Structure 1
Amino acid sequence: MDDSVMEMEQLIVMLAPLIALEREAENCQNIAEYQAFRRRIEDVNQVALEGLRQFIEDRPSWGIADMQSAYYFLSKHSALVNSKTDQGVLTSLVNKAWRWQRGWMS
């Protein structure tokens, strides 16, 4: 991964609001509350997905090893991952955004 720390920090700033919002899902008492919650954060979710997709598109020379390094960096950053739930949210986002891109299989 040859990108500067500043570029990775911009990605973290983009993802952090969604990760923070997703923590609220744990407070939903039933499926109706959860579905309303999902609708409420859909715009933030789309921004994060599109940002992750664009991040990879902006790096045409990157392969799977670079993507794995970026994911590892993100998954170890304290602004994004403070719990197993956070890790699951981040992994789900990355997998959805990068699916089938340059060998990303999930």
Structure 2
Amino acid sequence: RDFYHYYSTMMEPWDGPAAILFSDGDTVGAVLDRNGLRPSRYYITDDNTLILSSEVGVLDIPAEHIVKKSRLEPGKMLLVDTAKKRIISDEECKRYYATRKP
């Protein structure tokens, strides 16, 4: 809690509508502002393609090829490990970093 309290002083000026996408070359991620003011929806297809967009229907994908439809929730993160070809949930990401020692 102290971590979040301390960093809230730096984040509150950036508390507006924001969806931030990032990558280090192996991991691709997206995070939504804590108020959920910017929509971010994603599809996962049967060929393991992940499509993330602020609008529904950006690409014309037949419904039978969509394995999962979801959206980023306020303050949540979505990570894709491209090396291991897997999606890392918000809970798994936060648990991993919360248990590490700096």
TM-score (normalised: structure 2): 0.25
Structure having the larger proportion of residues in strand: 2
- Which structure has the larger Rg over C-alpha atoms? 2
Structure ranking higher on relative contact order (CA contacts 8 Å, 6+ apart): 1
Structure having the larger proportion of residues in helix: 1
TM-score (normalised: structure 1): 0.25
